[in-house]
Chain A
Amino acid sequence: MAGMDVLRFEERDGVLMARVVAERLVDLPVLDEFRDQLFAQAGSRPKMKLVLDVSAVTYLSSSALGKLVAVFKKVKETGGAMIVAGLKPALLPVFKVTSLDKVFEFHADPTAAVLELQRKRF
């Protein structure tokens, strides 16, 4: 599935901004690509600082939540931190009912999330 347009990456002073360009995080090929690209980024980054900008996402499946958990665990393995930014309010219930709102850190504004991670020391 190489070449699938799922994520755009941007380096911002030690923080990796990964912007999800897929509107629907639903289908397995898209989700596998999503995970694989982020795993590849984590592979070369000790103490990875990741802002996952999901502002374009209109809906996601429970499988997408599973991939987010996988990426979160990978980032933690590097000793780093991850913020989910720009989540549409209509999607927050999905995180609340699965208690993932207690696992992930959220920020409404992706740029502010980058600044927050830039300030973070490990």
Chain B
Amino acid sequence: MGGVSSLRPPRRVNVWSGRAPSTAEVLVARSWPSDLALKQQMIDEVSACLVAGGYLESDDEPMLCICLDEAFANAIRHGNRQVVEKPVGISVGVDRERWFVVVDDEGEGFDPNAVPDPTTEAGLMAESGRGIRIMNAWLDQLAYYRDGRTILMARRRADRYSAPTSSEG
């Protein structure tokens, strides 16, 4: 499930003006200081929560960690400008079909669709700007709210999804 076949062509990122929708079941919700030194701890906590609950296959952990790293680093560095007192809110939850992670920061927001395409000729040699592309390809849903200050990442639950078996083998 974690292989190349799990990626789809990137879609346009949804931008919503309101709050993230209410969730079915929140597993963890807490605020963290905007400290990059804590980023790995934040990633480990979310990842462990989803794996322990059976919502994520362990093969998918690297891609999850990449997506979480992008979201947390953006919230701390670009959103809260590493002002430690500014909180980064992280909620992890599940609904009937999906797990989701919602990340809030207190920054000025941004327009994800204004980020240049990293796969153009010029973009290929750029040294930044690939994070949203990666997240958008692996996640089933990547949506921004509050003018880009809240990000919702969601993907189907492993315990509700069986990988299709090949008919050729």
B-binding residues in A (CB < 8 A): 24, 26-28, 58-63, 65-67, 69-70, 73, 88-94, 96-100, 102-103
Contacts and interface: CB of A to CB of B under 8 A. Distances in A.
Interface stretch (B4-12, B87-95, B98-106): B4-12
A103 B121 CA distance: 11
Given A62-B70, A63-B128, 13 more contacts: A26-B40, A27-B36, A59-B62, A62-B66, A62-B131, A66-B126, A69-B124, A70-B127, A93-B6, A93-B137, A96-B4, A97-B134, A98-B133
Contacts of B66: 59-62, 94
Contacts of B137: 93, 97
B147 interface: no
Contacts of A94: 63, 66, 134
B42 interface: no
Given A62-B131, A98-B130, A90 B124 contact: no
Nearest to B4: A93
Contacts, number: 81
Contact of B69 (A61, A73, A88): A61
Main secondary structure, interface of A, reads helix
Instruction: Tell me which of B3, B59, B66 has the highest count of chain A C-beta atoms within 10 A of its own C-beta.
Output: B66
Nearest to A70: B127
Interface of B: 2-4, 6-7, 10, 36, 39-40, 59, 62-63, 65-66, 69-70, 73, 118-119, 124-131, 133-134, 137-138
Given A27-B36, A60-B66, A97 B133 contact: yes
Nearest to B130: A62
B71 to A, nearest CB: 11
Q: Report the 8 A-B pairs with minimum CB-CB distance, sorted nearest first.
A: A66-B127, A62-B131, A62-B130, A97-B137, A99-B119, A59-B62, A90-B62, A98-B130
Nearest to A61: B69
10 contacts: A26-B69, A59-B62, A65-B130, A92-B4, A93-B2, A96-B4, A97-B7, A99-B124, A102-B124, A103-B125
